Amino acid sequence: DITILSANCATLLNRMGFSFAELNLESARLAGSDLRESIFHCTNLARTDLRYTNLSDSFLVDANLSYSKMNNV
């Protein structure tokens, strides 16, 4: 399933210290990702599926979360 693959890739990138700052991740399927302590400064997350994603201690200043699915984040 593409959602599981996307979530696993995002989790792995985050654990490697990758910065998601200023990226366009509009409509990405990241449900279930572990994105603790990630950097999303000025990132476009509009319409992104973030359900059940762990965003604890993440930096989301100026991130666009318009119309994103945020259940149980």
The model's pLDDT over 62-72, given as tens digits with 9 standing for 90+, comes to 999 999 999 99
Top-confidence residue, 60 or 3: 60
Report the length, in residues, of the chain.
73
pLDDT at 5: 95
As a whole number, the mean pLDDT across the chain is 97
The whole-number average pLDDT for the span 50-69 is 98
pLDDT at 1: 81
Does residue 38 register a pLDDT over 90?
yes
- The whole-model pTM stands at 0.93
User: Left if phi > 0, otherwise alpha if psi is -120 to 50, otherwise beta: which for 21?
Assistant: beta
Q: How far apart are the first and last CA of the chain?
A: 21
